[in-house]
Amino acid sequence: MLKHQVKSAFKAFWKKLRFDLSANDNPIFIGFYKNFYKPKPGSLSEFLSEYSLSKKGDFYVIQIGANDGITHDPIHKFIKRDRWKGVLLEPQPDVFNNELKRIYQYNEGLTPICAAIGKEDGSQKLYKIGFSDMRWATGLASFSLEKIQEHYDSGVVSMNCKKYGLEIPSDPEMQIKAVDVEVISPETLIKKYGVSRIDLLQIDAEGYDLQVILIFEIEKTQPQAIIFENENLPQEDLEKCYHLLRDNGYQLQKFGRDTLAMKNPPEQFQRFFKA
């Protein structure tokens, strides 16, 4: 028990330290990624690193579901290292104000907004774990009530509660919370923020990834690269998504839970799409 408590305390300390170093653009933190960081060969991180460097400091990203901006975030280190520009969307007000805004407070040209993406401007109900604001809980927020209930049924919630010493409330009304969040359409987003191109559309939408790709009308907006989660999508939806992307000139490659799609990849990136 003591060993577990010490380990948890150290993880919490390291997480806060890493967040603070990044949020303050600590030169040691940035310098590590500039001068010493080497991604694993053939990994998604290596692709992102090489793709980012190929843009020579002129990289534009739209991120859907940014959460705190750093935890389990595949693009954070490259945003910081290469000073990406773009728009980062996170619909949960507490997460947005306490973390996402803070971690990118010194990144000029990068705009966090407290909103979700949707077909039309307005508002929509977001479902979330009702009794915890820890990162594991906020990361499960979804527009699908069924998806949140699935996290309870599959044991994901109980596993995290056991890990962090929490108890699931016996009252079902305390288990899942619904909040109204702002929704912005891609059309409004592109006009409001003067988006002329999308080098990367990064999606982490808890099973809503296909809808985001459909909403973005990729045949019109034409993101050069798209990264989205494949593990929360039903197989039928995943195949539909892959078919849509291939029909629009994208090559695909799975990297664990993430799928990378790139439109007509240049020769220097072809090796990432070989079986």
Q: Which CATH number characterizes residue 37's domain?
A: 3.40.50.150
Length of the chain: 275
Query: In a 3-state reduction of DSSP, which class is residue 73?
Result: coil
Q: Is residue 150 situated within a structural domain?
A: no
Only one residue has tokens 């927020």, namely 141
From the list 263, 274, 260, the residue with the least C-alpha distance to 47 is 260
Beta carbons of 126 and 178 less than 8 angstroms apart: yes
Residue 243 maps to a domain: yes
| pLDDT tens per residue, range 73-97 | 999 999 999 999 999 999 999 999 9
Full-model pTM: 0.91
Q: Is residue 168 part of a domain?
A: no
Q: Distance (Å, rounded) from C-alpha 24 to C-alpha 37?
A: 19
Whether 261 is in a domain gets the answer: yes
Q: How far apart are CA 118 and CA 217, in angstroms?
A: 12
What is the percentage of the chain residues whose pLDDT exceeds 70? Answer: 97
Q: Tell whether 121 is covered by a domain.
A: no
- 177 in a structural domain: no
Q: Which two tokens stand for residue 18?
A: 């890493």
pLDDT tens-digit series, residues 93-129: 999 999 999 999 999 999 999 999 999 999 999 999 9
Residue 152: phi and psi, rounded to 5, are -70, -50
Q: What is the pLDDT of residue 176?
A: 94
Residue that has been written with the tokens 């805004």 in this structure:
101
Based on the structure, what is the number of domains in the chain?
1
Q: Which of 128, 152, 158 is nearest to 67 (CA)?
A: 128
152: nearest Cα among 182, 179, 171, 129: 129
Q: What's the pLDDT score for residue 7?
A: 74
Does residue 199 contact residue 61 with C-beta atoms inside 8 Å? yes
Helix residue ranges per DSSP H, the chain = 2-23, 27-35, 44-54, 76-82, 93-95, 101-103, 135-138, 145-153, 156-164, 172-175, 186-192, 209-215, 218-221, 235-247
SS3 7: helix
Q: Per the domain annotation, does 39 fall within a domain? A: yes
Q: Domain containing 22: what range?
A: 2-116+196-273
